[in-house]
Structure 1
Amino acid sequence: MELLTREQLDALAQFDTPTICNAIEGFGVRSRTEGFTRPELRMRAAMSDKAMVGYARTGVISARQPATPAHSAVMEAYYRQYEDFDLPMVAAIQDLDRVPVGSFWGDVQATVHRALGCIGVITDGGVRDIEEVKKVGFYLFSKEVLISHAYIHMVEAGTAVDICGMTVRPGDLIHADAHGAIVIPQEIAGQLAEACVRAMDAEEALKGPCQAAIARGEKVTAKQIMEWRGEMQRRRAAIAPQR
């Protein structure tokens, strides 16, 4: 797997997730109904006004029953995933509890993970200490906000997980902002920033004339819209570079 550079990751962080999604669609490498989260994933804290972009490290948690001594080894294996890797990483954590009751995430784990080189988490479980986590400089994306950590413990580490309908495997490249999270296909990751520019340019074919008409105080016609929409579609068809 060819990794992106920090500069390439930062370039992707300049775009919002809908633009990333539009650009990915232009390559036709997967179904348009796959690879992103359902609406229940919400941003709770952000490191900056840029999107979160990083390589996934995965784990599965539960909080309804106490941990056993064997779970300590799973916890260590989970943390080991972050070693010997110098690019930004993202935790992708699946909660086995049908109704989450205990949070793995608060200011303690946010601080620990920042020290490991992890910049944020996506989880279908819960988070807490939101204001304190903001001070740490850590992204929180979760389904729930919780009070207690209950009997929280790590059940699995380094396996494929499901986060709000999105399958995440260790090493997947994740992009997330207030809209949700998306997995960027590795085979097009290096071309995606330029494709995002082309995706935005395609929308301008329709938005630009409409904005100009609004500024002039004029109404447009259905025929004009369809003409401009046709140009937008032609530009969208050229989002992926010709092979």
Structure 2
Amino acid sequence: MDNSTMTVTLLEKLQTVDTPTVCNAIEVAQGKRGFNEFTKGTMLASSATDGAMVGFARTAQIAALEPAKESASVIKQRRADYYRHMAEGPRPAITVVEDLDYPHAIGAYWGEINTNIHKAFGLGGALTNGVMRDLGDLPTGFPVVAGSIGPSHGFVHVRSIGQPVTIFGMQVNDGDLVHADRHGALVIPPEVIPVLEAAIDKLLSTEQLILGPASKKGFGITEFEQAWAAFEKART
């Protein structure tokens, strides 16, 4: 993806809102419902306090159920190429790694060591359908959103680098702009990036037409009907 349209203010905005808000704002930007480029199913977050991660995807695939079938030299070189790929590329970035063993993934690729390495590379978090571990020892400021939690790394090894991956039904290409938090993840369509900040602002102000009155004492059916009418008018 060409990141030339990504502004500092849009990045800051995306870092302060949750993924459901971005999901709704994309529909505002597109002028219709039906946006579908998000994860389907329950994912797990390493921390409830780290907030959202947003960045251009650096993709890879791993497996861990069985030992690698290639030679040790091939696996070693691919691992080196993997870390080089993660260390390079446009920023902000997050790592998006598909575990090919899913839904039977057992190898926790995301633990204390690997998360610290990726954070040091300047990545803003990890999204995976695979396994994480070492909860409580992961670095702050590097959220992991994963498919499961487990104790073992199994025979984990890198299988491929930079190709399209699938995470809980969502396809991600290397370089896609991804937003993720404890609700799951989504891919932001390139065509909405220039108007997404305004769409988020519009969405938040429209929601206040309901949330503001609902937070006041004496909010009943009459107040609801008035607020809902204003809400519906603003959404159309």
- TM more than 0.5: yes
SS in 1 for 2:3: coil
- Correspondence for 2:196 among 192, 205, 208: 192
SS of equivalent residue, structure 1 residue 26: helix
User: Mean alpha-carbon deviation: is it higher for 122-131 or for 84-93?
Assistant: 84-93
Alpha-carbon distance in structure 1 between the residues aligned to 2:9 and 2:90 = 13
Letter in 2 for 1:150: G
Contact 2:127 2:144 in 1 (8 A): yes
Alignment of 1:213-224 (within 5 A): 215=217, 217-221=218-222
1:108 equivalent in alignment to 2:144: no
1:176-221 Cα distance to aligned partner (Å, 9 max, x none): 1222211111222232122111101112223333333xx1x35223
Gaps of 5+ in 2: none
TM-score by length of 2: 0.87
Aligned to 2:27: 25
Q: CA offset at residue 108 of structure 1?
A: 1.0
Q: CA deviation at 1:162?
A: 0.8
- Alignment partners' CA distance in 2, 1:117 and 1:95: 22
Give TM-score scaled by structure 1 length. Answer: 0.85
Letter in 2 for 1:159: Q
SS of the residue corresponding to residue 20 of structure 2 reads helix
How far 1:84 sits from its partner (Å)?
A: 4.2
Q: Deviations over 1:3-38 (max 9, x none)?
A: 424443122111111111111011227862511112
Q: Which residue of 2 aligns with 1:155?
A: 159
SS at the partner of 1:228?
Answer: helix
Residue 132 of structure 1 pairs with residue 131 of structure 2: no
| Counterpart residue number, 1:236 | 235
The percentage of aligned residue pairs carrying the same residue is 33
Q: CA RMSD in A?
A: 2.2
Structure 1 residue 161: Cα displacement: 0.8
Q: Which runs of 4+ in 1 moved over 6 A?
A: none
The farther-off stretch of 7-16 and 91-100 is 7-16
Q: Which residue of 2 aligns with 1:241?
A: none
